[in-house]
Amino acid sequence: MHLDPQQEDARDPLGHLRSQFVLPTHPHTGQPLIYFCGHSLGPQPLATAHLAEEFLDDWGRLAVEGHTQGTPPWVSYHETVAPGLARLVGAAEPTEVVAMNTLTVNLHLLCTSFYRPTAQRYKILTETRPFSSDTYALQSQARLHGYDPAQALVHLQPRPGEATLRTDDILDAIDRQGHEVALLLLGGVSYVTGQLFDLAAIAAAARRKGMVVGYDLAHAFGNVPLHLHDWDVDFAVWCHYKYGNSGPGAVAGAFVHARHAAFSGPRLAGWWGQRKDIRFQMGPDFEPIAGAEGWQLSNPPILGLLPLRASLALFDAAGIDTLRAKSLRLTGYFAHLLGQIPGLTIQTPADPAQRGAMLCLEIAHGGRALFDRLRNEHSIVGDWREPNVIRLTPAPLYNTFAEVHTVAQALASLLSEA
């Protein structure tokens, strides 16, 4: 992909959004860093500080009355983000989504309801290397039902010599092993290879086989367009601190398909899941809110939610389809430049439809030292995943084509010295 980075930046319809972020600077020189680490922790939306001040002011002045008189009232604060979340994940209605807890907690809550193993059908089909927390969560869910995780967890495997999974192989595995699988739990975008799975085709195949379909969208939320309702996904969980730019430990998200709105099976319950009209009667009988909110346990943490409000306003200003269009060009340009550098292998699929914004670079030798030099000598922030992967992400909300060019040049120069 040949393009002029300066020209691209000049005509970028999203270029103005960069100024809506506080971007990190070098601790000693104060110079801006090139921040290519939004796949791990997104930068701070500028409006966060204002919302935080507003909240602190409300809390100080109103104390308990902030629950009903805060801007917005704290009792329903989480509801203010539901429409924006619904748009980003492709929910049919805001009632299919809820902002609550953290990702792993939400995974446990929804597995408790939707992983219903039987003697014939108890397995969990998952990716090659799920994120560690997902592995621990799934292992413990299997154990809770009396199954040996070594038997229960089935990992999809790439072909020998290949780093990523082929869609046909995933569909084939679903077809062959599906009758034993209770739950398919897949990351939307793999955290370690950057592969974006064909979430529509996989959900359709798995549902045809009678599996429950759950997606971990930590690396997909705010990165690629999602259509969870239309894909007929049973449930999904994600965090907001990566592409969602909502700060470390930000309140996470969950989707439960409208098919399950009146779910009456097992769940772990708390008072915030209780029907709103009777919640404060404090009665002994749990009557869940219809929809995703019924899985809430506790009252919403305002400080953990307010950056998400600031961030969602920027997603609404951009529109996920416009963001994706820029992302395809930005990451396509990055892949094109990196493809010309000897000694560097891109693990992430070359097909743009099979990746989001992030590229995972496999460095055969001296990867860690290279990574350190990128940061220390070129002020480029990415991250390192053992044993040999550097992850770098040009994020379309705030990164530029000029930065992509600079990062590729820095890598080329460092690798030529190696």
Ligand X SMILES: Cc1ncc(COP(=O)(O)O)c(C=O)c1O
Interface residues with ligand X (CB under 6 A) are 102-104, 131, 133-134, 187, 191, 216, 218-219, 239, 252
Q: What is the rounded distance in angstroms from the CA atom of residue 77 to the CA atom of residue 68?
A: 10
CB of 23 to ligand X, least distance (A): 21
CB of 113 or CB of 193, closer to ligand X: 193
Nearer to ligand X, 130 or 367 (CB): 130
21 vs 131 by CB, closer to ligand X: 131
Of 243 and 401, nearer to ligand X (C-beta) is 243
Closest distance between ligand X and the C-beta of residue 239, in Å?
4
20 or 246: CB nearest ligand X: 246
- Cβ at position 220, least distance to ligand X in Å: 9
Q: What's the min distance (Å) between Cβ of 69 and ligand X? A: 31
Q: In whole angstroms, what is the distance from residue 282 CA to residue 299 CA?
A: 14
Closer residue to ligand X (CB): 48 or 101: 101
Which residue of this chain has its Cβ atom nearest to ligand X in the complex? Answer: 104
Instruction: Mark 26-61 as b/e (b = at least 16 C-beta within 10 Å).
Output: eeeeeeebbbbbbbbbbbbbebbeebeeebeebeee
- For 40-51, the DSSP string reads T-PPEETHHHHH
- In the chain, the amino acid numbered 238 is W
- To ligand X, the closest distance from the beta carbon of 39 in angstroms equals 8
Min separation Cβ 1 and ligand X, Å? 28
Tokens of 160: 């020998």
The helix (H) or strand (E) run that includes residue 123 is strand 123-126
Say if residues 244 and 307 touch (Cβ distance below 8 Å): no
Least distance (Å) between residue 412 CB and ligand X:
29
Cβ of residue 219: shortest distance to ligand X, in angstroms?
A: 6
Radius of gyration over every alpha carbon of the chain, rounded to an integer in angstroms: 22
Q: Long-range CB contacts (< 8 A, 24+ apart) of 150-156?
A: 151/123, 152/117, 152/122, 152/123, 152/124, 153/123, 153/124, 153/126, 154/123, 154/124, 154/125, 154/126, 154/181, 155/126, 155/127, 155/128, 155/129, 155/130, 156/125, 156/126, 156/127, 156/128
Nearest residue (CB) to ligand X, 99 versus 103: 103
How far, in Å, CA of 216 to CA of 235, rounded?
Answer: 9
The DSSP element (H or E) to which 34 belongs, if any, is: strand 34-35
CB closer to ligand X out of 219 and 229: 219
Residue number with CB closer to ligand X (125 or 337): 125
CB of 213 to ligand X, least distance (A): 17
Please state the length of the chain. 418
**Is residue 121 within 8 Å of residue 180, measured between CB atoms?**
yes
117 close to 88: Cβ distance less than 8 angstroms: no
Q: How far is CA 255 from the centre of its chain?
A: 13
Q: What are phi and psi of 22, to 5 degrees?
A: -90, 110
